[in-house]
A = this chain, B = another copy of it.
Amino acid sequence: MNPLEIPEIVIRRLPLYLRALKRMTEEGQSVTSSQEMASRLGISATQIRKDLSYFGEFGKQGTGYDTAFLRAQLEAILQVSKHWKVAVVGAGDLGCAVLRYSQFEDGGFIVAAVFDRDSQKIGRQVGHYQVLDVARLSAVVEEQGIRIAILAVPAEEAQAVANSLVEAGVKGILSYAPVPLELPADIQVHYIDPVIGLQGMTYYLSPS
């Protein structure tokens, strides 16, 4: 089965399955079922089984799934069995919060470098990292073979920084900047914008 044929929406659900399985293995639970995962995640059991079936047969009829095995399979599929180096651009409040957020490491990512353009911040220590001059971005990204970046710069700078990142070899960008980036089609981009999330909720709230 050609991986290119797997719907992106399926791929986007796999990390949720993986997160649930991690928790189960950490809590010592060795077996689960599509039914149980479904009730935890609020996704139908059929959909979970269908999603997994794109990649292989991981369960046993009558029994369910071995949590550790399925977890390892999903980590392999998502390519997070090993850690990816990540560059963080922008050492403001948000960038710093990102640096101190331990979940990245658990999830398969290690911050390899932090950049800012503000001379006030360059050289400072944040968490275990020293903030580097964004002028060195290309050089460091290339040297270290960094493929993933987290963008935590103001909206006005986001496109320019994203361009530099891509030019330096970055293939995936997680952007916190509230602006749609224009990048080559082969670059993976994911946006995080809390305001967009909130505005999608207020529609459903009765007016106050």
Contacts and interface: CB of A to CB of B under 8 A. Distances in A.
A44 interface: no
B19 A178 contact: yes
A136 B18 CA distance: 36
A41 interface: yes
A116 B104 CA distance: 23
B15 A84 contact: no
A160 interface: no
A180 interface: yes
A77 interface: yes
A172 interface: yes
A52 B200 CA distance: 15
Interface residues of A, number: 60
A101 B94 contact: yes
Interface string A150-172: 10000000000000000000011
| Identical copies of this chain, number | 2
Interface in A69-104: 77-80, 84, 86, 93-94, 96-98, 100-101, 103-104
Contacts of A198: 84, 86, 104, 107-109, 148, 172, 174, 190
A194 B186 CA distance: 20
A94 B208 CA distance: 28
A96 B98 contact: no
A42 to B, nearest CB: 6
A195 B107 contact: yes
A68 to B, nearest CB: 18
A14, A192, A193, A200: which has the most chain B beta carbons within 10 Å?
A: A200
11 contacts: A14-B199, A19-B196, A79-B202, A93-B96, A94-B97, A97-B97, A108-B202, A171-B206, A172-B201, A174-B197, A192-B197
